C-alpha cells in the first residue's frame, strides 16, 4: 500500500512536470521509482497525465466541498423575504352558511411581473386578487390554507406556512357565535289585575 501511495505521488508530481519515471526492483525485492535510472534493470514506465477536468475534480475533492460556487449561484434565490397569511388567523372560527372568509397575504417584497400569488384551500387553487381573496358558502368543517408565489412556469418561488380555520353552522344548542351580542328578548306580559267581587246587597 505504501508503494502504491509513493507511486501515485510521484506520478502526479512528475507527470505535471513532464518528466520520465523509471521503475526497478532491487536484490531484496523492493520496488523503486525515480526520475533517474539508478539501476541497469530500470524500466521507463508510462504515466497518464490527468486532463483539465480531472484536475478540477481532484481539487474540489481535496477541498471537501465536491463543487465550487458558481458566480451567479444566487441568481435563482427568492426575491421575496417572506410570505405569510395575515387573515384569517390560526384556528379562527366562522359561523353560519353565509359566512365570508376574507383571506389576506403578507408578502415581503415586490411581486415580479411574471410571478403570481395563489392560494390553496385544502389543495384547491385560487388566484389572488392583489394580495387577497375571499371564500363564501363553505360547508361546515375545518380547512387548511396556504399561499404561494408561482413563477411563469407555475413553479413555487416562496410558500407560506399553513393556516387552519373552521366553519361552524348555527344549531339549536349554538345558534350564534359566542362573540355575537345576545338577541333582545320580548318583554314578559304584565298579568291583568283580578276584578274585585261585588258585595252582596242581600
Residues 24 and 91 in one domain: no
Share in percent of the chain as helix, strand, coil (round to 5): 15, 35, 50
User: Is pLDDT of 68 > 60?
Assistant: no
Work out the number of other CB atoms within 10 angstroms of the CB of residue 9.
11
State mean pLDDT over 100-105.
Answer: 94
Domain containing 87 equals 80-168
Confidence band (pLDDT; 50, 70, 90) for 90? very high
CB 47, CB 11: distance < 8 Å: yes
Q: Is the pLDDT of residue 67 over 80?
A: no
Residue of 151, 149, 162 whose CA lies nearest to 80? 149
Residue keyed to cell 318583554: 187
Look at residue 185 and tell me if it is in a domain: no
- The count of domains in the chain is 2
pTM: 0.49
- The answer to whether residues 91 and 56 belong to one domain is no
**Is 180 domain-assigned?**
no
* pLDDT higher than threshold 70 for residue 174: no
Amino acid at each position: 500500500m505504501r508503494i502504491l501511495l509513493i507511486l501515485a505521488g510521484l506520478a502526479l508530481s512528475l507527470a505535471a512536470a513532464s518528466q520520465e519515471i523509471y521503475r526497478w526492483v532491487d536484490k531484496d525485492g523492493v520496488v523503486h521509482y525515480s526520475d533517474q535510472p539508478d539501476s541497469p534493470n530500470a524500466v521507463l514506465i508510462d504515466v497518464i497525465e490527468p486532463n483539465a477536468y480531472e484536475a478540477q475534480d481532484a481539487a474540489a475533492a481535496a477541498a471537501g466541498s465536491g463543487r465550487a460556487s458558481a458566480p451567479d449561484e444566487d441568481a435563482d434565490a427568492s426575491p421575496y423575504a417572506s410570505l405569510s397569511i395575515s387573515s384569517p388567523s390560526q384556528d379562527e372560527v366562522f359561523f353560519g352558511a353565509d359566512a365570508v372568509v376574507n383571506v389576506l397575504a403578507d408578502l415581503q417584497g415586490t411581486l415580479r411581473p411574471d410571478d403570481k400569488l395563489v392560494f390553496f384551500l385544502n389543495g384547491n387553487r385560487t388566484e389572488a386578487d392583489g394580495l387577497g381573496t375571499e371564500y363564501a358558502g363553505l360547508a361546515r368543517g375545518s380547512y387548511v390554507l396556504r399561499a404561494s408565489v408561482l413563477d411563469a412556469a407555475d413553479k413555487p418561488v416562496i410558500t407560506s406556512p399553513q393556516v387552519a380555520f373552521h366553519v361552524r353552522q348555527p344549531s339549536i344548542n349554538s345558534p350564534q357565535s359566542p362573540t355575537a351580542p345576545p338577541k333582545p328578548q320580548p318583554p314578559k306580559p304584565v298579568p291583568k289585575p283580578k276584578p274585585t267581587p261585588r258585595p252582596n246587597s242581600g
